[in-house]
């Protein structure tokens, strides 16, 4: 392996992914008020009470995301200059993938990565002169040479902790790593004295410090700063001096829920490539944001009403990619401005949200015209439309050329009387729609969520589409808050309507009667809540189809809030292992469920007995609350038969006069709980 490549690899990883997550078994006993703003008064007590010793530190692989590492590498200029600056992030991702293919990284959970211990040791040994994973106690000579520093956040990071860093004159990276606490607090002196003195900083990360409400004006002294992360802090405004950080490439403000505006001179940050202000309260974008022509990421664009940027300025940002939410589209005055946003030619966009701030049925034609002119590129994978006030959708929304759409959400489109032929994974929330489009024809549809269609009464042939077996790939189906829905008609195709469905959820469909689909061979999880008149096939006298339910794969069953007894036939499913029945008034006894592992019963006042032979030996836990109000003497399950598996038992004392357990209950060494209902 080439020596320079090894050196580069070690340098990269020692700088960016310090693969040590600091954890302590002893932490401060000082209470942490959530409204802490200034923690100086607590410094002395915290310093005395917080004890972190060498033996308390555990080394775990630090988990990181690819996107975060790419931005840090770019900020540190670790990647050789690309032929075109437009390709900088793309080239960096290729370097990352190359290291991954060589097993320098390992895939972790939730699309995250870790670094192998041996590679970490190699990187640290080759970069120990300039990189430091700071634990305190390092000599002055060591600190003087440090260029890149990481440390473990404490719950309270007081000024005394950072005192040695005032001697570090050439620090380029200030990178706190996460701790177990969800909220952290840092001394004001660190922000107002230490940080502005680190004049060579390229990377400054202050995320998750919950008491940061402002930055000092002296932040403008950090003229070399390229990466500033303030995400998940309480900051309300950025000082105007931030706009003098002309080298800034990345500004992260996500989930700063108190942030209400951006500085007026943001247009001066001509090198800014990534601006994430998702989850903020920003009311409009500053004027002339279209001058930030280097932007690759702009997660949120709020259309101004009388001041701020208008939507046509998006047309100047030709390199936008990733995801963007365009909010307050009701402020668009002229639909031709929407056309100038030029979304159709932004080929790197993958996720798009279009949201109106209010509904106005009197201007439905203008609203439809605006949406028509916001047609996205064909590479889009996710599309969300919220509070759309038009009475119909534009033609492009059903265009088959949108063949990469994986997720579509239509929420609160109250005035639409018809829906387009949707792409993959749609979510429907359209109050005035009377029928669904032929979603069964979509060959790759895996999840379907239908919500709040107040006027839909029947699901029938229009849902399944042409006369062939529908929903070939659907795995998850959910209906919620369908107040008028009464009938679910099968397709009549001769085979299963949902051959691969694994999860079915019905919630708050109070008028749905008749039967569920009778043939769901792959269904593993069924949840029915608030469907008071729903019967299965066996309880439906009007059905002409077979009464046999093919739910042979069912493993989890939840029945809640007034469902009919016809559903109880599903208790006979051979593979059923988890059962929850709540607020059910028509069950008298439980059958013998051979594979049952978990049982949860709540408010079932007519339940009077368990199986005569007791619960199966596979049951590992049972919870009851107000279920057995007619049991004046509750013998419960026969614990002589479940002693090997039962680990947890929780019982309510509601109307319970006597509890008798056999000697076999001695194995309940994990948990035995009896509580009183108030």
Mind listing the pLDDT tens digit for each residue in 334-391? 889 999 999 999 999 999 999 998 655 557 788 889 999 999 998 888 888 887 777 6
DSSP symbols for 176-211: EE--S-S-BEE-HHIIIIIHHH-TT-SEEE-TTBTT
In the predicted structure, residue 174 carries a pLDDT above the cut 90: yes
Residue 378: name the closest of 397, 395, 403 by CA.
403
In the predicted structure, residue 432 carries a pLDDT above the cut 80: no
Three-class secondary structure of residue 605 per DSSP: coil
Domain of residue 65, CATH code: 1.10.10
The chain-wide mean pLDDT, for the chain, equals: 76
pLDDT at residue 3, as a whole number: 47
Q: Which two structure tokens, joined as six digits, stand for 298?
A: 């702009």
Contact in structure between 643 and 619 (CB atoms under 8 Å): no
Quick check: is 14 in a domain?
Answer: yes
Q: Which two structure tokens, joined as six digits, stand for 118?
A: 């041996």
Q: Which domain holds residue 621?
A: 590-678
Dist CA 149 CA 154 (whole Å): 16
pLDDT at residue 631, as a whole number: 42
pLDDT class of 546 with cuts at 50, 70, 90: very low
Q: Which residue has the higher pLDDT, 543 or 564?
A: 564
pLDDT class of 401 with cuts at 50, 70, 90: low
Burial class (CB in 10 A: 0-12, 13-18, 19+), 201: buried
Number of domains in the chain: 2
Dist CA 86 CA 96 (whole Å): 18
Contact in structure between 150 and 136 (CB atoms under 8 Å): no
Contact in structure between 542 and 575 (CB atoms under 8 Å): no
With pLDDT > 70 as the criterion, what percentage of the chain qualifies?
A: 71
Quick check: is 279 in a domain?
Answer: no
Dist CA 446 CA 433 (whole Å): 23
Mind listing the pLDDT tens digit for each residue in 271-307? 999 999 999 999 999 999 999 999 999 999 999 887 7
Q: Of 128, 152, 184, which closes a domain?
A: 128
Quick check: is 420 in a domain?
Answer: no
- Name every residue whose Cβ is closer than 8 Å to that of residue 618 and which is 6 or more positions away in sequence: 577, 594, 595, 596, 597, 645
Dist CA 601 CA 588 (whole Å): 12
In the predicted structure, residue 188 carries a pLDDT above the cut 80: yes
Q: Of 101, 128, 155, which closes a domain?
A: 128
Quick check: is 46 in a domain?
Answer: no
Strands 185-186 and 227-229: unpaired
**Mean local confidence (pLDDT), 156-171:** 88
Q: Of 128, 144, 160, which closes a domain?
A: 128
Quick check: is 124 in a domain?
Answer: yes
In the predicted structure, residue 42 carries a pLDDT above the cut 80: no
DSSP symbols for 331-374: G---HHHHHHT-GGG-TEEEEEEEE-SS--GGGHHHHHHHHHHT
Quick check: is 67 in a domain?
Answer: yes
Range of weakest confidence among 372-381, 387-396, 618-627: 618-627
Quick check: is 609 in a domain?
Answer: yes
Contact in structure between 652 and 627 (CB atoms under 8 Å): yes
Top mean pLDDT of 62-76, 206-220, 377-391, 633-647 is at 206-220
Q: What is the CA radius of gyration of the chain?
A: 30
In the predicted structure, residue 169 carries a pLDDT above the cut 90: no
Quick check: is 283 in a domain?
Answer: no
């Amino acid at each position: 392996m080439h020596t320079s490549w090894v050196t580069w690899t070690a340098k990269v990883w020692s700088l960016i992914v310090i693969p040590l997550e600091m954890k302590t078994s002893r932490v401060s006993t000082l209470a942490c008020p959530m409204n802490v703003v200034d923690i100086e008064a607590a410094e002395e007590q915290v310093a005395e009470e917080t004890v972190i010793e060498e033996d308390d530190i555990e080394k775990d692989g630090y988990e990181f995301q690819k996107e975060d590492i790419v931005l840090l590498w770019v900020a540190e200029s670790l990647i050789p200059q690309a032929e075109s600056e437009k390709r900088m992030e793309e080239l960096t991702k290729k370097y990352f993938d190359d290291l991954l293919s060589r097993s320098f990284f390992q895939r972790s959970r939730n699309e995250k990565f870790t670094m192998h211990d041996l590679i970490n040791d190699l990187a640290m040994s080759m970069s120990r002169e300039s990189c430091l994973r700071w634990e305190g106690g390092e000599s002055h000579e060591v600190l003087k040479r440090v260029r890149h520093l990481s440390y473990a956040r404490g719950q309270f990071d007081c000024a005394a902790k950072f005192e040695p860093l005032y001697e570090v004159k050439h620090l380029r990276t200030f990178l706190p790593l996460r701790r177990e606490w969800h909220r952290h607090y840092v001394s004001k002196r660190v922000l107002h004295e230490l940080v502005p003195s680190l004049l060579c900083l390229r990377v400054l990360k202050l995320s998750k410090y919950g008491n940061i409400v402002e930055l000092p004006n002296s932040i403008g002294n950090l003229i070399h700063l390229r990466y500033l992360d303030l995400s998940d802090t309480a900051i309300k405004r950025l000082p105007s001096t931030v706009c003098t950080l002309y080298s800034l490439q990345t500004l992260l403000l996500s989930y700063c829920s108190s942030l209400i505006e951006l500085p007026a001179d943001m247009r001066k940050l001509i090198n800014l490539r990534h601006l994430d202000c998702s989850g903020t309260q920003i009311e409009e974008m500053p004027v002339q944001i279209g001058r930030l022509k280097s932007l690759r990421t702009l997660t949120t664009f709020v259309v101004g009403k009388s001041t701020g940027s208008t939507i046509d300025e998006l047309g100047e940002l030709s390199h936008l990619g990733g995801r963007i939410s365009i909010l307050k589209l009701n402020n668009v005055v002229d639909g031709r401005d929407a056309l100038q946003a030029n979304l159709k030619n932004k080929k790197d966009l993958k996720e798009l949200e279009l949201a109106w701030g209010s509904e106005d049925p009197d201007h439905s034609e203008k609203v439809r015209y605006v949406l028509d002119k916001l047609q996205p590129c064909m590479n889009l994978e996710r599309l969300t439309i919220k509070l759309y006030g038009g009475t119909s959708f534009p033609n492009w929304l059903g265009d088959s050329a949108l063949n990469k759409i994986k997720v579509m959400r239509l929420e609160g489109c109250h005035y639409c009387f018809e829906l387009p032929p949707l792409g993959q994974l749609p979510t429907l929330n359209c109050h005035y729609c009377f029928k669904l489009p032929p979603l069964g024809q979509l060959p790759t549809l895996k999840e379907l969520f239908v919500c709040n269609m107040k006027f839909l009464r029947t699901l029938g042939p229009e849902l399944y589409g042409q006369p062939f077996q529908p929903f070939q790939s659907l795995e998850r189906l959910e209906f919620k808050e369908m107040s008028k829905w009464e009938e679910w008609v099968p397709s009549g195709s001769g085979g299963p309507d949902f051959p691969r469905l694994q999860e079915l959820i019905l919630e708050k469909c109070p008028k749905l009667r008749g039967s569920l689909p009778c043939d769901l061979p792959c269904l593993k999880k069924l949840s029915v809540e608030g469907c008071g008149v729903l019967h299965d096939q066996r309880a439906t006298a009007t059905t002409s189809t077979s009464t046999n339910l093919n739910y042979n794969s069912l493993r989890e069953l939840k029945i809640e809030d007034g469902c009919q007894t016809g559903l109880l036939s599903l208790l006979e499913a051979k593979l059923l292992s988890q059962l929850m029945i709540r607020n059910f008034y028509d069950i008298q006894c439980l059958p013998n469920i051979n594979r049952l592992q978990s049982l949860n019963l709540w408010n079932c006042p007519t339940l009077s007995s368990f199986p005569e032979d007791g619960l199966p030996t596979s049951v590992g836990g049972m919870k009851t609350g107000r279920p057995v109000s007619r049991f004046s003497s509750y013998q419960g399950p026969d614990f002589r038969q479940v002693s090997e598996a039962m680990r947890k038992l929780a019982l309510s004392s509601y109307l319970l006069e006597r509890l008798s357990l056999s000697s076999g209950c001695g194995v309940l060494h994990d948990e035995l709980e009896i509580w009183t209902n108030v």
